[in-house]
């Protein structure tokens, strides 16, 4: 047998700061007064965000030598810490979410801090449309949006540029995480139809803080955030983030450690030109777990242990992941209406994948009883253990993008245009891994030690070289204050070469396609936007699983399309309410049972259609209550597949109903004390393609608190959280990877404590 461990090869590939107060006696006094006001405001309302900006005034203070100083106006929002107003993930930089005809959610820094988020899976639990889809402990996360898997090769972005998503992206240096759901905006090129996840990096500022954390399992962490602006008018800026974490996992034997460092630098070259540079490196070393599988292919295991490491062997090594992400961007403002930027990025991961992998029951005597497939655990819980070693898994994403944006009018009609070009390259090198059977165990029995395979993997060699060249453009046409049309698209030239073995033949893809996007926006009143949109995208075909007669072959690229209708309303400028109804279609890709020797052939046949409704709210519901909430109801079905057993029911691992709520309540009894908490609901999900096995629905409750005080003159925030408060036993993931289905239990109750100290 050959390797089944995932080898995902698909691909898609300052403004200048405000002028500072002059260093005079009066200037210092004004700045000191401002800082004092902000400090007092923050101390009594630590959820309040405030910003200072110059504004014209009828009376301007002056220094003793007659030099005039700009008036400083403080604008604040009261308790809107969970509400974002802009995002850069749907085709426009810092576009107002209310005017964006797409479904976008944003998890900002305040929410990341309050939840003490460490992984992307911690972040996306705030959005009901996002679910786990093969996310084992110790490995990079697999996710789905609107029921479609997120492709790590194309859908994970850093500051708008694609990165190698085969990594656990660090959060210590991120300002927010943006989630674009579905196909929308000119970002939709060669990409899976679920959507995009974009990480936004913190920019340099005058900050200095340290954070230390611990959890109830013994994990410890420490992080530093240090930044400064300097030079004439603070034209230079630098920010350094670093973190160290010792991980004690809830799965026995899967402890690990993580080291992270990043640097962000800004240079405001002139009032019109600016340059940014970002670099981050992370190393994660952690034992990885194997998932459970259906017993006999039809039964969800009962009384399975969340803490047991299936196939635990003393000789198994941890998975080591080294990730490096580099980005640079140059902005130039031609005038008040026209600007341009050039951005370039390189991201690569190097993974040494090692695991004693539990899979199937091919070598077990009880396998096949009652028609049991050898690609599942046996009906009695027996499973095979494989020595899996795949060192030197190298994946690299390169991207270069040039964009021009502008505003102009043709008579009474206003235009906001965006056009540009991009080049993306995806390179993957893999070895011929060791994947050798070493013994068999039972999920209910004791651990058994086997001898490792004597074989060694080959050196890494090229498996994929894919390039994507794009020309894109979009025009937002405003006829008046009520009606807008957005129209544009992307012309994609896709060139791909792949090799299934070191001496194997080269196969290729050469495709050119135009991907249109159009939307109609109606604003009956200023706080309300109604929209209808149509989008089209191209995604590369999936890779056939090992059990198929065409194992490891790549299917041709496929086109997907989406229709979406939505509404966005800003209630009293403090609570953002959104609703969206969508329908997404793409060709159905699956392992079709047939008369071949393998019994299956991986095919594209029929249509997979996901239809649903999403509701969300974010912001300040009352003077003391701030919340973020979302609900998603999705109907995901296959049509005309040629296999009746795969139709007429929900697609595997897609819940019909999901909901998420998280809230911050300012306690009246003690200034600076906040009660935090939330609940996640995920409906029942099918655990196999035939829809004959299901994992039950579940609720998970989380509770916490934060307290902001001062030690000396330094702000200090203490946060405590208990996730899975009632220690719920549940299956968080019943997804597929390359045609094979796995089950993962959720984490048991975990308490966490962190302290952030500003110095």
Alpha carbons 140 and 156: distance in angstroms, whole number: 12
Average pLDDT over residues 382-393: 96
667: Cα separation from own chain's centroid = 32
Among the listed residues 121, 136, 385, the one whose alpha carbon sits nearest the alpha carbon of residue 254:
136
Tokens 């008040």 belong to 336
Cβ atoms within 10 A of the Cβ of 527, count? 15
What is the pLDDT of the chain when averaged over all its residues?
Answer: 87
Where exactly are the structural domains of the chain?
86-758
Residue 189 has pLDDT above 80, yes or no: no
pLDDT value, residue 632? 98
Distances from the Cα of 130 to the Cαs of 121, 541, 616, 633, 643, in angstroms? 9, 22, 13, 12, 28
- State how far the Cα of 122 lies from the Cα of 113, in Å rounded to an integer: 11
* CA count, 13 A, side-chain hemisphere, 386: 21
Model confidence at 96, in pLDDT bands (50, 70, 90)? confident
Mean pLDDT of the region 385-406: 96
pLDDT digits (tens, 9 = 90+) for 657-668: 999 999 999 999
- Residue of 600 and 459 predicted with greater confidence: 459
**Quick one: CA dihedral 64, 70, 71, 73, positive or negative?**
negative
Residue 238 to residue 42: CA distance in whole angstroms: 25
Phi, psi angle pair for 264, to nearest 5°:
-125, 130
Residue with the larger pLDDT of the pair 372 and 548: 548
Q: What is the pTM of this model?
A: 0.89
How many C-beta atoms lie closer than 10 Å to residue 512's C-beta? 11
In this structure, the chain runs to a length of 759
Rg (CA), the chain: 27
Task: Answer whether residue 90 shows pLDDT above 70.
Answer: no
Give the confidence band of 504 by pLDDT, cuts at 50, 70, 90.
Answer: confident
Decide: 184 and 194 in contact? Cβ < 8 Å: no
CATH no. for 86-758: 2.40.170.20
Instruction: Produce one character per residue of 283-321: b if its CB has 16 or more CB atoms within 10 Å, e if not.
Output: ebbbbbbbbbbbbbbbebbeebebebbbbbbeebbbbbb
Q: What is the pLDDT of residues 618-654, one digit of tens each?
A: 999 999 999 999 999 999 999 999 888 899 999 999 9
Reading the block at residue 50, the tokens are: 């405030």
Q: Determine the pLDDT at residue 59.
A: 43
Percent of the chain with pLDDT over 70: 88
- Residue 66's pLDDT band, with cuts at 50, 70 and 90, is low
β-strand 156-158 against 195-201: which pairing, if any? parallel
Question: 393 Cβ partners below 8 Å, 6+ apart?
Answer: 7, 166, 349, 350, 351, 352, 353, 429, 430, 431, 460
Q: Where are the alpha helices (DSSP H) in 124-222?
A: none
- 69 pLDDT above the threshold of 60: no
Q: Which range has the worst mean pLDDT, 160-164, 414-418, 500-504, 693-697?
A: 500-504
The answer to whether residues 198 and 105 touch, using CB atoms and an 8 Å cutoff, is: no
What is the predicted pLDDT for the residue at 88? Answer: 81
Rounded CA separation 578/98 (Å):
9
Nearest to residue 631, comparing CAs of 656, 655, 660? 660
Higher-scoring residue by pLDDT: 704, 502: 704
Rounded to an integer, the average pLDDT of 227-249 is: 97
pLDDT (0 to 100) of residue 54: 39
Convert the pLDDT of each residue in 569-615 to its tens digit: 999 989 999 999 999 999 999 888 888 888 888 899 999 999 999 99
- Residue 624, by phi and psi: left (phi above 0), alpha (psi -120 to 50) or beta? alpha
DSSP 615-670: EEEEEESSSSEEEEEEEEEEEEEEES-S-GGGSSSPPTT--SEEEEEEEEEE-SSS
């Amino acid at each position: 047998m050959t390797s089944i461990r995932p080898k995902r090869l698909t691909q898609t590939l300052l403004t200048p700061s405000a002028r500072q107060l002059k260093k005079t006696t009066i200037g210092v006094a004004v700045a000191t007064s401002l800082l004092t006001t902000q400090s007092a405001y923050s101390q009594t309302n630590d959820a309040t965000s405030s910003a200072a900006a110059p504004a014209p005034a009828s009376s301007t203070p002056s220094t003793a030598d007659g030099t005039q100083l700009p008036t400083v106006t403080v604008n604040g929002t009261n308790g809107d810490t969970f509400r974002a107003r802009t995002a850069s993930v749907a085709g426009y930089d810092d576009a107002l979410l209310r005017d964006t005809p797409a479904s976008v959610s944003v998890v900002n820094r305040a929410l990341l801090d309050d939840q003490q988020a460490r992984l992307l899976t911690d972040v996306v639990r705030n959005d009901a449309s996002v679910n786990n889809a093969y996310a084992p402990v110790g490995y990079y996360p697999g996710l789905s949006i609107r029921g479609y898997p997120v492709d790590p090769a194309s859908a994970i972005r850093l500051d708008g540029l694609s990165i190698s998503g085969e990594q656990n992206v660090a959060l210590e240096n991120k300002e927010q995480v943006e989630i674009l759901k579905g196909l929308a905006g000119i970002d939709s090129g060669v990409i899976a139809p679920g959507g995009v996840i974009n990480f936004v990096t913190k920019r340099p500022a005058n900050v200095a803080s340290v954070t230390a954390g611990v959890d109830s399992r013994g994990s410890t962490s420490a992080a530093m955030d240090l930044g400064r602006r300097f030079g004439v008018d603070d034209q230079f800026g630098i920010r350094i983030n670093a973190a160290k974490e010792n991980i004690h996992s809830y799965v026995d034997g899967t402890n690990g450690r993580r080291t992270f460092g990043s640097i962000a630098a800004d240079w405001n070259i002139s009032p019109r030109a600016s340059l940014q540079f970002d670099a981050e490196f992370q190393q994660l070393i952690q034992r990885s777990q194997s998932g459970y599988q259906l017993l006999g292919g039809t039964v969800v295991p009962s009384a399975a242990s969340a803490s047991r490491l299936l196939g635990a062997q003393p000789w198994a090594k941890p998975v080591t992941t080294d990730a490096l992400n580099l980005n640079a961007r140059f902005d130039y403002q031609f005038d008040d209406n026209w600007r341009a930027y050039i951005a370039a990025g390189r991201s690569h991961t190097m993974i040494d994948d090692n695991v004693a992998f539990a899979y199937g029951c091919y070598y077990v005597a009880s396998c096949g009883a009652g028609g049991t497939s050898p690609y599942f655990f046996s009906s009695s819980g027996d499973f095979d253990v494989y020595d899996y070693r795949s060192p030197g898994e190298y994946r690299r994403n390169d991207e270069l993008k040039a964009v021009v944006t502008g505003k102009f009018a043709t008579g009474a009609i206003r235009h906001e245009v965006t056009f540009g070009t991009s080049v993306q390259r995806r390179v993957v090198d893999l070895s011929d891994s060791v994947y050798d059977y070493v013994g068999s165990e039972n999920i209910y029995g004791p651990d058994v030690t086997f001898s490792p395979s004597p074989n060694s993997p080959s050196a890494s060699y090229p498996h994929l070289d894919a390039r994507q060249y794009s020309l894109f453009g979009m025009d937002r046409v405003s006829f008046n204050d009520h009606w807008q049309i957005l129209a544009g698209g992307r012309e994609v030239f896709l060139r791909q070469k792949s090799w299934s073995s070191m001496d194997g033949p080269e196969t290729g893809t050469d495709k050119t396609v135009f991907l249109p996007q159009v939307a109609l926006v109606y604003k009956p009143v200023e706080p309300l936007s109604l929209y209808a949109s149509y989008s089209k995208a191209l995604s590369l075909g999936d890779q056939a699983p090992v059990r198929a007669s065409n194992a490891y072959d790549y299917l041709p690229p496929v086109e997907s399309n989406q229709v979406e209708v939505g509404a966005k309303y800003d209630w009293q400028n403090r609570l953002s309410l959104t609703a969206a109804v969508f329908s997404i279609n793409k060709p159905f890709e699956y392992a079709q049972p047939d008369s071949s020797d393998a019994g299956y052939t991986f095919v594209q046949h029929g249509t997979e259609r996901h239809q649903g409704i999403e509701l969300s709210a974010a912001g300040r519901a009352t003077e003391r209550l701030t919340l973020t909430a979302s609900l998603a109801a999705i109907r995901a079905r296959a049509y005309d597949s040629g296999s009746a057993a795969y139709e007429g029911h929900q697609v595997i691992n897609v819940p019909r109903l999901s909901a998420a709520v998280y809230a911050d309540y300012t306690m009246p009894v003690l200034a600076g004390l906040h009660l935090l908490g939330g609940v996640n609901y995920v409906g029942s999900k099918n655990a196999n393609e035939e829809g004959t096995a299901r994992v039950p629905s579940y609720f998970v409750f989380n509770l916490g608190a934060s307290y902001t005080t001062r030690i000396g003159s330094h702000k200090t925030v203490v946060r405590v959280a208990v996730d899975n408060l009632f220690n719920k036993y549940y299956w968080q993931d019943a997804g597929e990877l390359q045609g094979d289905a796995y089950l993962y239990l959720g984490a048991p109750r975990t308490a966490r404590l962190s302290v952030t100290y500003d110095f």
